[in-house]
Structure 1
Amino acid sequence: MNVPVLRVRTRRIPTPEHLLGYADAKSPIAWLRRDDGLVARGEVWRIDTFGADRFQDAQRQWRELVAAAEVHDEVAVPGSGLVAFGAFAFAASSSTPSTLIVPEYIVGTVGEVSFLTEIQVAADSPAFDDELAGDAPVTAAIPAPHPLGVPATTALHPGHVTEAAHRQAVTEAVARIRTGALAKVVIARDLVGTLTADADRRSVVERLHADYPETWTYCVDGLVGASPEMLGRVIDGAVTARVLAGTMPRHPNADADVRVGEDLLHSPKNREEHKYAIDSALASMSGMRQVATAADDLDGGLTASPEPFLLKLPNVWHLASDIRGTLPEDATVFDLIEALHPTAAVGGTPRDAAMRLIAELEGVDRGRYAGPVGWCSATGDGEWVIALRGAQITGNRVVAMAGGGIVASSDPAEEYAETMPKFRPIVTAFAERESN
């Protein structure tokens, strides 16, 4: 496949009042957390990959594109310059494509810096006009922002994996674990819905970001959600990852909610589940030849939180651990996410046995649920989260999934109940809301 020569320019702009106004209503691209974010529209380059080599195929074509591109970046912050947004399928056997998209425009805010990136195919467009350089008004080159239209709303109801099917799958998973076939497996279920033809998909992004500002709100190729779990982040060679495993729903009473958090922190079942996840992540990262020793690690390996800590979100408590390391100059974030995916937090351990059991017991293609979603830049930087607390929109059809880690002590009724607060962010984002 011959890649095009792209011409890229990034300039500072005044801080936009509403970033999502620059995204497309039907196919928004967004990456938001707290007051920072990237939104994009249009598509100048796209690749779809499949199978076990999907990460390497994407990386190879991305490197070819980067090598040929003409990039003029006057800002030089994470997310500026040539950037692609991507979403990868959970399983190698999935019929859902793993996709990288380079948009026409990116409007971003990182800290105190706001910027516009324009991307065009050199063969199809003239060079950027000189009069638009420097301090010229950016409004001459960027599409005008558009207010949100008809909210994207739908009631989500059980899909392929019913309550009875989920409980049966968990029961069978526990039986397999107790035979010693594996230590942990994640079993998920699905909810489905339908949007109206005029629905503005940006409303879902806006609601998720407003309700869960501490998570990473993502929207790429119809995959939308608010993930609390950073699969892998590389900025200037520094590697970070966040592992979440072990969950309890929040309690509306403040005192009782504190006790819920403490119960989670000291729960043998949840700490066992978390240990499998953190050990799996450390083993995957340590096994990467590209990962170097973290400078502040006195033991000669990757650094990790010595004990899991409580992460409080509006809907749930999580047990969390952070991992840090470094990446050499010739590696990119693709190497990292390929090594880490699927983590034990969304797959299980041992990895191969868990993946086989998931396919057998769920009986449904997960698509991009629990796969990597995020962005990468021409400099090798990138941020990729696990696609959780979200849904895939294909046409007008919505499919959401949520699951939980199953170990030998798991109870089917409790595991089904645990999925409910995990669905809450996306169910609420699609729900009808009373007008003021």
Structure 2
Amino acid sequence: MFGLASSLTGAGGTLTGGASRFRRRIMVFALALAMAAMTVPAGLPATAAPPGRGTLHWSPCYKDVGAEFGVTYECAQLNVPLDHDEPAGAQVQLALVRLPARDQDARIGSILLNPGGPGGSGVDFALFFGPFAEFIWGPEVRDRFDLVGFDPRGVGRSIKCFGNERQALEALTPFTFPLTPAEEQIRADGDGLLAEQCDRRGNRIGEHMSTANVARDMDLLRSAVGDEQLTYVGLSYGTYLGVTYANLFPDRVRSVVVDAVLDPHAWANVDGQVPFSTRLRSDQGAQATLDRFFELCEAVAPGNCAFAPNPAQRFDALAQRLLAEPVRFTDPETGEPVAVTYQDMIGETLIGLYDPFEYAAVAELLAVLESVASPGTEASPAKRQRAAQFVNKRGVPHYQNFVESFPAVACSDSNNPTDYAV
């Protein structure tokens, strides 16, 4: 991860507390390692001929977000065939956003972005990554490339299986992952409702959610933005999309940058007895990152990591405490009862480990939860309010459909167990 040690230790080896929970940056800074292939040497001519301007109709959008970061966004929509074997048949509309190149006279083309998932919104990624691009890639890339994010078919703004967030919550479990047979049944019931709603409202999109279809959409988008060849950045699952495009359209690739690469053979393995998530060994990667977090927390000067000393042992003890019984208290901000579970702790920690710039906040949050969970301890209102952040309140500004699109793509690309007993 980019800046792993330096993000944990500030000046003088200090792990700074109170880091903002700016999760929009998750995985963004890892791109710095991969972008050497994208940078433009000074004085290098862009192309033999100016790039085309494409056929899309862009208009200003997300003005409040743009004003916050001092940039201007433009939005458009692109219709693509639901079934690429029937290009004149039913269409799917893709949502697009771009941050235009600052020097249009020297513009090389567009960089298409995919944050991973599957099911990650490229629109959101462009919105909240774009303002930081100059500091990560250098000003010349921002000057000479449009940054274009798109919500792939069946993802984000492109289509939804539920009418609103309240309906979607009925299919979501109140836990990150099941621990008991009863919770497994709740998860199975939620999956059944999800499948039923997507079959009813999905406009047959579930039959056409494969990565190969998204790559074909991306080729149409490449042409629509006016580029003869594709320039692309993909993270995590987005690496598989990039590799798929390069295999389908090798002559149409200018530059494909992939970071946090997943094993394409493991992703699409034909062995349906092993879930794709197990084949990818994501659990092993998470454990290695957690171990590194413990090492860095222990290594900083005494008192400068909120979860030191002995972070690994304290983490295990806290996990065992929550496995035995959730920590219950009243949120002083809302007055509502709060129960922090083992699943909450593991899920929230995993999210924080994606972003080294959040490690200080992860350490602080674990220390606060440990304090609240200590027997016979009356935690302060501030600590109880902080600990309440472990609980996934599931309230978002607008309905997201990640829970639908992730399994739709994964199950389209590979065989997976159909029996919950496996």
More helix by share: 2
Larger-Rg structure: 2
More strand by share: 1
TM-score w.r.t. length of structure 1: 0.21
